[in-house]
Amino acid sequence: MVRYFMELAYNGSKYHGWQRQPNGNSVQELLETALTTILRQPTQVTGAGRTDAGVHAAYIVAHFDTTTPIDDPMQLAAHISRFLPSDVVVYSVTPVNDEAHSRFSAIARRYEYHVTTEKNPFLQGLAARLRFVPDFDKMNQAAAILLEYSDFTSFSRLHGSAKTNICKVQKAIWEQSGHRYIFTIEADRFLRNMVRAIVGTLLDVGRGKLTIDQFREIIELKDRSRAGTSAPAEGLYLVDVTYPPEVFVPSRRVIV
């Protein structure tokens, strides 16, 4: 067997997430159908992350195996993209070591959450619209606290299947970009629904519903019911996946 990594991106608005669903269209299913048709052999695809319904990926890596080497991997990438709908694109196909794994070999992931404080038809489905203007300075003070902790049970999905809720957050900051405000968070791993739960709770700080000390207390309580409501899926983007250089060196980066 020969293993390949794919770099790709997708607008998640029309999909029930990355993972194949019994009663809904998924990005994984699209890719598997495309590869199975083009390569003329059943092909399974494994992604670096499992984005939820409506969540976007400006950059994600996935892997698949073939029984024989592919003569021109980049030509295959172009062929797959032509096969896929316009809201999914494959940028590259690269041969990797047989033990390289798009999910388990990753050492860091970065997400962005986009919000807008104005009605903007060009951001429909691409950013969450706020009906208030939050205090972003206070939200950044609260976000900085995330770097002091490693147990994020308070922001994990209830009854989730994760074996541990320990994550190492390396960056968490709000910045303005045009009409959008973008929250960037990077960690070695993320729990299911973690980013949206953090954003929802930070927005409670920004609107004065929570103090910065109360935000810290929520983390320490390790109780999801104390945190805020999860922010809408439409504002969330997976924007980067990092691997050790001996595993995979990326050829593409996408800025949203």
The structure tokens listed for 206 are 């920004």
Burial class from Cβ neighbours inside 10 Å (0-12, 13-18, 19+) for residue 220 reads exposed
Burial class from Cβ neighbours inside 10 Å (0-12, 13-18, 19+) for residue 251 reads exposed
Catalytic residues: 52
Alpha helices in the chain (DSSP H): 27-39, 73-83, 136-145, 194-206, 212-221
Distance from the first to the final alpha carbon of the chain: 35
Side chain identity at 210, as an amino acid letter? Answer: L
Half-sphere exposure of 101 (CA within 13 A, CB side): 6
Side chain identity at 138, as an amino acid letter? Answer: K
- What's the CA gap between 113 and 173, in Å, rounded? 10
- What's the CA gap between 56 and 51, in Å, rounded? 7
Asked if 37 and 4 touch (Cβ cutoff 8 Å), the reply is no
* Residue appearing with tokens 């295959």: 76
